[in-house]
Every structure is written in structure tokens, then in C-alpha cells.
A and B are shown apart, each in its own frame.
Chain A
């Protein structure tokens, strides 16, 4: 089972601080979703509500069609791996894995053993004696081997070295293909993990900035580069009659690069090329930077 998620007008407050402010989106489930946002944008708050770690202040969250908060049938199928793994510091790694084996209905012990070897986790060491990256690797091992229908990783790779992070990405993809489920990955390392995402949700200041298919989002971004005057003139013309937003501009001497976001049809692309300007793709990370720099743009664009 790969539960879908429906979020309607979700609000969460911590005292006077508004963490989530009327968030609305729908995930069909059975995909790998990327949740992106700047520090303090509300990512962890959103995930905490999805995983029933927190009760929403308002609005509604449905996981598999049901409110997850205090719902035994739903929460047992959710695994939320946070930036600091939820284990006892004074227990051994082997005990932490045994605990998960005892309480998680879909726990795959053989796969956990494989991940322990892959990440070179010392089973006899206590969690407090692990390096930061090893703790993260333990969290990832717990998250993957739990095989929860809804698996959430929130900055779970902190402190892991590059080989371990790439091993995680490979395992995430392979295990997802072998055991399809709904996976949400919240990350700042967008370039590293972005290729795994089938859909991307970007939030900022507790509000939805964009929810798109990852490929569709990439296709909606483009950079127009060339002589500054030509770029300004052409971008201005392209925006006429089109839902095209300028996300950012960079200029070096007389050369300018303007990042635009929106539906750039084939005639527009041909026009850019015909005018001798360069039309380039925009990396997901760059789109993210631009989109969250301009929060007034593209809200609820889907």
C-alpha cells in the first residue's frame, strides 16, 4: 500500500510563530517526493504533522484518506526519520535495530543487515559513541528496513560522507523500485538527490510555493543569456501574453542572464534561438533558490 496524502488549509502555530499558514496540496502516493524549503520554511513542521508527531492547529491532513493523529491504523504505517535518529543514546546499535524489529510490522531484518554492512555500522557500539554520520546511517537503515508504506526522511543524511550519501540514494531508489511505497525526502542537497524526485513540493514561510512533477518543474525554468539589451528586450516581448515570471537576473559586463519561469512554448524557444541568444536549462536547485527568493511568485501555481 502506498498511501496518498491530502493537505487542506493546514495551519500550525508555535505560540505566536506561524509555522504553516494555509498549506494545501495533494500527493497521490506511490512516488518519491522531494520536499524543499529554506531553513525555517516549515518543512519539519509539515512532516511532523503528517507523521502525527504534532497536532495541526487548523486545517486537515489525510494520509490514506484518514487523519493520522492518534490513529493507530495509520501511524503504524508511517516511518519518520528525523535529522537526529529517535533511538536511546545509551543503547547499542544492535539493540536499536532489535527494537525496530520488535515493533515494526514490515521490518526486513535481512535488508537491515545488508545496510549495516553497507554503512559499516558497528553493532556493538552504543549510539552515543557513534560519529554524526554513523548516527545518520543508523537512521537511514531504520527508515529503509522498516518498509513503511509512508516513509519520510527529513535531512536524514547529516554528517554522512559523500560515498555514504550516494549509497543511501542508490539504496533508496533500488528499494523503492523493489518495494513501491510513498517516500518523502526533505533535503537541502537538491543537486545530489534531485534526480530521485518524481514530484517536488516547495514551501516557504509555511506556504506552498510550487507543487509540480520534477521534470515539469525543470522544463518550466529557462535561462536566456546574451547581450543585456537584447535579453531585456526579448524577455519583455516573451512575457507579453504569457504567464512568464522573471525569477532572477545576473549580469557580468555587457552579458546578462535572466532566469524565467513559466510555460515557454516552442515558438517562444525558436524566437530566442533565432535572435542569437542562448536558451539554457535551469537546475532544480537554481529554480528552488529563485522561487524561494520571490515568495510572492507562483504561489499555488499548480
Chain B
């Protein structure tokens, strides 16, 4: 019988969030500064032709959360268990935090587009863009937010699966676990046309539903790989 409680999972989410607040803020400061520097540099020497914010945010946030997922399973989970939490508490707490971060990242990406479009309009860059701006309607904004949120869910789930796989199975067998581990990410990326396969598989709402299913599949994998995860013995 597995028992858990919401307060323990909430405490885990708060502890992880608090512990990574500086890193999270630092990440978005780097993204913002990098974007501003890139805009200034390209505009000065070449002239902007497309949205630079999309360059910075289409991949970096999801990879950032992938790393957090790996760390959560391979480093934080064993420690939480050593301090009197259950694996389920940690899964639920980490999942809750991933959900909050996915929503926050989706919102920040939209805010970034808003800032960029204001800057582009104020400086006349908008008139010189050769590529269409990624957001020209509410539908575009919703689409980008949904993509970002789904990817920001499936990546940390996958990170958790991979981190737990290596922690549980070691380097060699853990590497074999990469194949089922990354399958949900690959399928979600494909379904969302989010970068890997250009525009060959633009599925719209069906793609979003398929990606949501990938998130669920990844969460199920995360459950199975850690539900009875043995905590390694220590030495030295």
C-alpha cells in the first residue's frame, strides 16, 4: 500500500522551487540579456529579418527543464527519501513544480514576444522583417503558449525518466533506457512541429492532443521507473 499526503508533496515543490529560484531567475536574465545583445548586434551590422526572441526561447527553456528533471530524479529524489518522504511524494511534488514552471515559462515566452514586438515597432524593425512575425493573432499566441507548455512538461518528465534510469540501472543499461526514455519527447516534438522536423508534421489541435498524450506517457514512465527505486548504498 502506498500512502502519501498533499502537504508533503507541496513541501517538496516549495523546497525545490525555493532552492532553484536563483537559477531560474538567472536563466531568464541570461535569455533576456542574450536576446537584447543579439538584437542590438544584428540590427547594427546586418539588420534584423526575423524574431530573435523565438531563437532564444524555442529550445533553451525546455532543455533547462530537461536538466532539472534529470537532477530531480538522480540527486533530489534519493535525498528526499533519506529525509522521510516517499517516492510518490517526490514525484507528485516535482510534477507540481514542473507544471507551475511550464505555465510560467509559457507566460514568459509570450511576455517576451510582447516586449520584442513593442521594441520592433518602436524602432521600425517590424517594417523590415522578411519572415512573418511568429505572433500576429490571439490564435498564434495560444498556439505558441500551448507548444511551450507541453514541451516544458514533457522535457522535465523525460529528464526524470533518464535520470532515474541511469541512477537505477547504471551507465550501460541506463543508456539502453534512453530509447524508451526519449520516445515521448521525440513524438511530442514531431506532433508539435516544434523544431526537429521543420514543418513536415504540423498537426494543430491534433498535434497538441498527441503531445499531451506524450506528456502523459512520459509521466507514466516516470512513475514506473521510480515507484520502487532502491536508494543506492553509500561508501567512502
Binding site for B on A (CB under 8 A): 44, 48, 52-55, 67, 69-73, 75-80, 82-84, 86-88, 99-100, 102-104, 148
Contacts and interface: CB of A to CB of B under 8 A. Distances in A.
A88 B228 contact: no
B123 interface: no
A67 B84 contact: no
Contacts of A44: 233
A216 to B, nearest CB: 32
A44 B1 CA distance: 24
A88 B75 contact: yes
Nearest to A49: B230
A103 B83 contact: yes
A20 to B, nearest CB: 13
Q: Looking at chain A's contact residues, is the secondary structure mostly helix, strand, loop, or mixed?
A: loop
B3 A70 contact: yes
A72 B4 contact: yes
B15 A102 contact: yes
6 residue pairs, one from A and one from B, having the closest CB atoms: A84-B234, A86-B82, A53-B231, A76-B84, A70-B2, A54-B230
Interface stretch (B39-47, B86-94, B152-160, B186-194): B86-94
Contacts of B87: 70
Interface string B87-113: 111000000000000000000000000
A103 B233 contact: no
A84 B89 contact: no
23 contacts: A44-B233, A53-B82, A55-B230, A67-B1, A69-B228, A70-B88, A70-B227, A72-B88, A72-B89, A73-B3, A76-B8, A77-B84, A78-B84, A79-B84, A82-B234, A84-B234, A84-B236, A86-B78, A86-B82, A86-B83, A99-B83, A100-B83, A104-B84
